[in-house]
Amino acid sequence: MNTAERRGEILKILHNADAPVAARELAGKFGVSRQVIVQDLAVIRASTPGILSTTKGYVIQQDSSCSREFKVRHSQDKAAEELNLIVDCGGHVKNISISHRVYGRVSAEMDIRSRQDVSEFVQALQNSRSTVLSNATSGYHYHLVEAASEERLELIEEQLKKAGFLAPLQPWEQSTGKGNIKVLQYRKFSRRSCELKKNRMYVFWHMLTRDRKFWK
């Protein structure tokens, strides 16, 4: 198997994976070093939008899903309850962010998909004696959440509100700023966006598999 063929197989594996794939795992499968796989993925990512590098490995961002950002507030001891509520409703917590008065918008990847992920996240906090990012903003923070449908996102919002986690948006958070998406507009068009993403998925995949010259 030459380099181009290996990179093509790596892309197939990422597309079919239900969870992040570690470079170490790919190295073992193809009988090469981890560094070779990292170099392969660097080339693939240069010509393939949507491949994310997480602490658990590489994953392709699925365009067939819908996403929404929720503003919430709670103390650190409620973090597991909030995250479990989201994943139990079919949500994938992609990141956490805060709006700090001095530092501005600060974000961190999370990639929480299941109760097991929640448990590992909480354990990591405890083992490192760290605090959650939202402690810097009195518990206020945002989560970008993906789900299979707009209805799932509505359910997540309903359950967050019922549990007392959902926080009201301030007027300045609903206005359009440079580089930001207006929250009200985002929700208004999110359903249409989901439909467009699903229709676009086939075209995107066809272009990726056709242009193998970029992988050489």
* Domains in the chain: boundaries: 3-61, 66-193
CATH number for the region 66-193 comes to: 3.30.1340.20
- Given the structure tokens 């989201």, which residue do they identify? 86
Phi, then psi, of 37 in degrees rounded to 5: -65, -40
- End-to-end, the C-alpha distance of the chain in Å comes to 13
User: How far is 74 from 12, CA to CA, in rounded Å?
Assistant: 40
Which one is the CATH code of 3-61: 1.10.10.10, 3.10.150.10, 2.30.30.60, 3.40.50.300? Answer: 1.10.10.10
pTM: 0.59
- Give the Cα separation of 181 and 105 in Å (integer): 13
- Helical segments of 100-179, H only: 115-128, 150-162
* Three-point CA angle 145, 190, 185, nearest 5°: 105
Query: CB count, 10 Å around CB of 156?
Result: 24
Per-residue pLDDT of the chain (216 residues; tens, 9 = 90+): 899 999 999 999 998 887 889 999 999 999 999 999 999 999 998 887 778 777 778 887 665 568 899 999 999 899 999 999 999 998 999 999 998 888 888 888 888 989 999 999 999 988 988 888 888 889 999 999 998 888 999 999 999 999 999 998 877 665 443 334 444 444 544 555 565 554 544 444 444 444 444 444
Asked whether this chain's domains 3-61 and 66-193 adopt the same fold, the reply is no
* Amino acid 81: pLDDT: 95
Helix axes 3-16 and 183-210, enclosed angle (nearest 10)? 140
Nearest to 23 by CA among 51, 63, 65: 51
Separation between Cα atoms, residue 22 and residue 18, nearest integer Å: 13
C-alpha 144/C-alpha 147 separation (Å) is: 10
Name beta bridge partners: 60: 51
Q: Give pLDDT, residue 181.
A: 40
What is the bridge-based pairing of β-strands 66-73 and 104-112? unpaired
For residue 206, the SS3 value is helix
